[in-house]
Structure 1
Amino acid sequence: MNQKSGATAPVQDGRASRWEEHNNQRRRALVQDAVRAIRKHGPHVGMDEIAAQAKTSKTVLYRHFGDKAGLYRAVVESVQDFIVRKLPLDEADNLPPHELILRLADAYLAVVERDRNLYLFVSSRPTSDSPDPVTGVTTRIGNEVATVLRAWLRREGLDEEPANIWGHGAVGFIWAVSDRWIITNFRRPRAEVVGYVDQLFAPAFAAQQRS
């Protein structure tokens, strides 16, 4: 009796996927330890201090991230996600434009105020080929704000074309204000700075009229 020949399906070895997940978890834990070290030691923290915080060696850090620039990129990605989660984007569709910009400014400045060392670390690129963290996070937020403004303009029967410029312009403005606020060592209270932002944007949105 002839036996049918055929390719045997490979048996799935779960060890590789478990090892990959273990590595991912380890990387995430090391990033969190790096964040703690940055908060503790400041934006110019060294790999020795990060390794000490993680209770490991620099060799382990290099194995997971390659070099300090690789660790920097991982921290930037984590911090960008953290900043976006702190912003009122989930409720943005239900906010009038000036209220969205007001809350956005307050939430962004609150992150800067609470995590100055982390913000300064992320804002400083260790090498010329490191990603620009400011462009990354402001582009991400600006896209979402532009989408909300486009929907508002549509509901109001207004031209939707300015949405992209307004969205990215407002986010860039808030970033510039935050950067200046740090340089002045938070000389003015956050509520006052946010009030000045609203003072500029609220009349601009209120002035929009159906043509």
Structure 2
Amino acid sequence: MTTSTQSAGPAPDGRSTRWDEHRATRRRELVDATLRAVRQHGAGVGMDDIAAVAGTSKTVIYRHFTDRQGLYAAVSESVDALILRNLAVATGAAGNDLTSADSSPRGLIAGAIDAYLTLVEKDPEVYRFVVTAPLLDQSSGDPAAPVTGHIAAQMALVITEALDRAGRDPAPARVWGAGLVGMVRAAADQWLADPDAMSRGELTEHLTDLAWGGLSAAWPDETP
């Protein structure tokens, strides 16, 4: 009896794997350097400033990101991941122990709003950099749409789960998620223009009241 064996593919090239890891590490370092440059020079930072903070040349940066659009996309992805992690913690989606947090529907909305505003307060220039994309040439559409879209999708999941638990129709969850993020983003942009007008906690409370005033009609609060 003849036993046929399927030949395995070629073994991974160790040198290629190490080079891929090196490039990924270098990209992360350049993203971190860009964030430092934004914090140092403001959202309108130029490529020369970024290269100086990174201790390299624009040519090297473009070698890793192709162009300014590629660098902006990588920075936006980094900020996007940070916001999503904060949202997961605020809403309990990351499996964290939130026994001391307000896990009521209204409390979840407040936590999500505060998670977004926390980035705005702690890193205003990075927020402006992502939202306004001054590094890019004039372009059509909203450059921050991927970031806000991911946040809206995360909020829609949280709302869907809460509605399911309450025995409610989850159909509006996607619309509510997008509407909530749009409202908070608009308010955050206005707040940045006059941050002394109120604290982050006050703004969170005002926005929660506004959002919950509509959401509670179809999603009654389970707390007394």
Q: Which residue of 2 aligns with 1:27?
A: 27
Q: Which residue of 2 aligns with 1:42?
A: 42
Q: Which residue of 1 aligns with 2:113?
A: 105
Q: 1:74 aligned to 2:66? A: no
- Alpha carbons of 1:82 and 1:205: their partners in 2 closer, same or farther (altered >3 Å)? same
Report SS of the residue matched to 1:159: coil
State how 1:168-179 maps to structure 2 within 5 Å.
Answer: 168-179=178-189
- Alpha carbons of 1:154 and 1:8: their partners in 2 closer, same or farther (altered >3 Å)? closer
Unmatched tracts of structure 2, length 5 or more = 1-6
1:114-169: CA deviations, max 9, x gaps? 11111111112313558844321222122122122222222222222222211221
> What is the aligned-residue identity percentage?
43
User: Separation in 1 of the partners of 2:140 and 2:71?
Assistant: 11
Q: Which residue of 1 aligns with 2:207?
A: 197
State how 1:58-69 maps to structure 2 within 5 Å.
Answer: 58-69=58-69
Q: Which residue of 1 aligns with 2:128?
A: 120
- Alpha carbons of 1:192 and 1:165: their partners in 2 closer, same or farther (altered >3 Å)? same
Q: How many pairs are equivalent?
A: 205
Q: Which residue of 1 aligns with 2:4?
A: none
User: Separation in 2 of the partners of 1:135 and 1:195?
Assistant: 25
Ranges of 4+ aligned residues in structure 1 off by more than 4 Å = 128-131
User: Separation in 1 of the partners of 2:26 and 2:196?
Assistant: 36
Q: Which residue of 2 aligns with 1:91?
A: 92
Larger Rg, first or second structure (1 or 2): 1
- Does the Cα contact within 8 Å between 1:69 and 1:130 map onto a contact in 2? no
Q: CA deviation at 1:26?
A: 0.6
Q: Which residue of 1 aligns with 2:3?
A: none
Q: 1:155 aligned to 2:165? A: yes
User: Separation in 2 of the partners of 1:100 and 1:33?
Assistant: 34
User: Separation in 2 of the partners of 1:153 and 1:171?
Assistant: 18
User: Separation in 2 of the partners of 1:209 and 1:8?
Assistant: 56
Q: CA deviation at 1:32?
A: 0.3
Report SS of the residue matched to 1:70: helix
- Alpha carbons of 1:51 and 1:209: their partners in 2 closer, same or farther (altered >3 Å)? closer
Q: Which residue of 2 aligns with 1:136?
A: 146
User: Separation in 1 of the partners of 2:140 and 2:55?
Assistant: 27
User: Separation in 1 of the partners of 2:81 and 2:218?
Assistant: 33
- Does the Cα contact within 8 Å between 2:113 and 2:184 map onto a contact in 1? yes
What is the TM-score normalised by the length of structure 1? 0.85
1:156-194: CA deviations, max 9, x gaps? 222222222112211221111111111334532111111
Q: CA deviation at 1:49?
A: 1.2
Unmatched tracts of structure 1, length 5 or more = 1-6
1:24-76: CA deviations, max 9, x gaps? 10111011011001100111111111111111122211211222222111111
